[in-house]
Structure 1
Amino acid sequence: MAKRSSSGKKSTIRDRVIESTLSLIAEKGFRATSVKDVIKACGVTEAEFYHEFDGLLSVLVAASRHLNAAMMDAIADFEEDDSTRERLFALVMARFDAATPWRAAIRELARSAPTNPVLAATAGQALMTMSARALRLAGVRVSGPFGFARVNGFMLTVVLPTARIWLQDESADLSKTMAALNESLDRAERLMDYSRPFCGPFGGSAPSAESVPPAPSDTTNGSGKSPTLSQ
């Protein structure tokens, strides 16, 4: 009984820290936000914070993993005859929908990243992990000699261009984001048609949630902590 109670407490602390961190970043910006600010805002002790995270960057990695989980939920709505493109559209939009409450913070992070190499590297790794997860859930092979090319190409031609529109899209239904995603998927399809002889097909059937192997490891270990991302 005590063990289960402890797990619930940890989950609550992690959620509170993530929410407080992103709220403060949205309000003050990344550079002006400190671990002490987060500890004060969410009402945890310093020991509790550092038991779960190494610093602000590891909190952001945990937040990204939370958003990736929204894509796992989206595959429940897949139909057997859905195309790869339809699956990718649903997966990426599910992540943007889940991220909408944190958009102001993500906008601030995007502004800070060009002048903060460690933040930029952390964000880049998170986007690569997200891209690999989306492709894998849609049935696209991301292993093998051309796996990295597929993941990197998807991130550069689909995820990043759509994210730039999403950051400014204040419409209730994210219609501008959906239009941008459709356009980006068109571009990706044309690119894959051109590079098919070199990188292989950009398709496949959707796997079940149980059959999906874990995404490429990010900068955290199993507890969500990272020994190199303290701040």
Structure 2
Amino acid sequence: MARKPASPKAEPAAAKPAAPKPDPRRAVVDALFRLAANRSWDEIELPEIAREAGLSLAEMRGLFPSKLAILGGLGRIADDAVLAGNSDDLMEESYMERVFDLVMRRLDALAPYKAGLRAVMPALRRDPMALAALGRNAVNSWRYMLASAGIPTEDSLGGVRVRGAVLLMSRVAETWLEDDEPELSRTMAKLDRELKSAGRIMARVEDVHRLTAPLRGLARALCGGRRESRRERLRNEDGDGYAAAI
């Protein structure tokens, strides 16, 4: 009796790639801003945020030490979004054009959180400690923002540029929070005015910095001479024990 040919074996179904796990840090930030859109900032408690994010309180504690830190996490989300973009096509443009682009890209990244920010900001303005903490975060953010667009941040005027960008962003954001037009025409007009004002101020700062360069060099020389004289006096008074004392 002839044997029937064996039926071909069915190929195992290809395993579906696992869906990427949601970023728990972003989940916490999103949860806070969903709550903040409908609740007073002072009423939102940490356990509520954890439940909204689908995490235990212990898991959330491993991500953020405080509610204010969660708020700062939004800055990191905006940083990542801007830094992931490409500013190479702007490198031939003026600093003003580059900052305009950075601000608008940052506002685009913050747009999903606008309702929550609008509700939160009045409470934060009444809290000097919160404003100081957010200000430090903003300085760190804008150091990277400017650097990504090829704007110097580590030279002698780098700190002025960074803090100027923080102040500019703060002023523009106030208008943006109240600007519900799809084209953001009010926001862009405000940004244009602030950039022109900042450009005039920065030009004066650079002029003063350039004109006072000889005086700064003289001051460094004089201070260096005073330090040297003091070291010499200490050597004369204390002998070889001076180095050991340091």
Output the TM-score relative to the length of structure 2.
Answer: 0.71
1:144 to partner: Cα distance: 3.5
- Please name the residue that 1:186 is paired with: 196
Amino acid at match of 1:185: L
Q: Deviations over 1:193-217 (max 9, x none)?
A: 11112346xxxxxxxxxxxxxxxxx
State the alpha-carbon separation in 2 of the partners of residues 49 and 179 from structure 1.
40
Q: Deviations over 1:48-80 (max 9, x none)?
A: 111211121111122111101222133256244
Q: Deviations over 1:85-138 (max 9, x none)?
A: 221111110000110111122223321123223321222122222332232222
Matches within 5 A, 1:57-136: 57-76=68-87, 78-136=89-147
% identity of equivalent residues: 27
State the alpha-carbon separation in 2 of the partners of residues 54 and 66 from structure 1.
17
Amino acid at match of 2:164: G
SS at match of 2:23: helix
- Please name the residue that 2:31 is paired with: 20
Task: Give the CA RMSD over aligned residues.
Answer: 2.0
1:171 to partner: Cα distance: 0.7
**Alignment check: 8 A CA contact 1:74 1:90 kept:** no
Unaligned runs of 5+ in 1: 201-231
Amino acid at match of 1:125: R
Amino acid at match of 1:83: S
- In the alignment, structure 1 residue 175 sits paired with structure 2 residue 185: yes
State the alpha-carbon separation in 1 of the partners of residues 166 and 64 from structure 2.
27
- Please name the residue that 2:57 is paired with: 46
1:188 to partner: Cα distance: 0.8
Post-superposition, which runs of at least 4 consecutive aligned residues in structure 1 deviate over 4 A?
Answer: none
State the alpha-carbon separation in 2 of the partners of residues 179 and 129 from structure 1.
26
State the alpha-carbon separation in 2 of the partners of residues 111 and 85 from structure 1.
30
Amino acid at match of 2:46: V
- In the alignment, structure 1 residue 150 sits paired with structure 2 residue 150: no
**Alignment check: 8 A CA contact 2:142 2:162 kept:** yes
SS at match of 1:172: coil
1:167 to partner: Cα distance: 0.8
- Please name the residue that 2:236 is paired with: none
Amino acid at match of 1:64: G
User: Alpha carbons of 1:138 and 1:63: their partners in 2 closer, same or farther (altered >3 Å)?
Assistant: same
**Equivalent residues, number:** 192
Amino acid at match of 2:131: A
State the alpha-carbon separation in 2 of the partners of residues 96 and 199 from structure 1.
32
Unaligned runs of 5+ in 2: 1-17, 211-246
Between 72-81 and 159-168, the greater mean CA deviation after superposition: 72-81
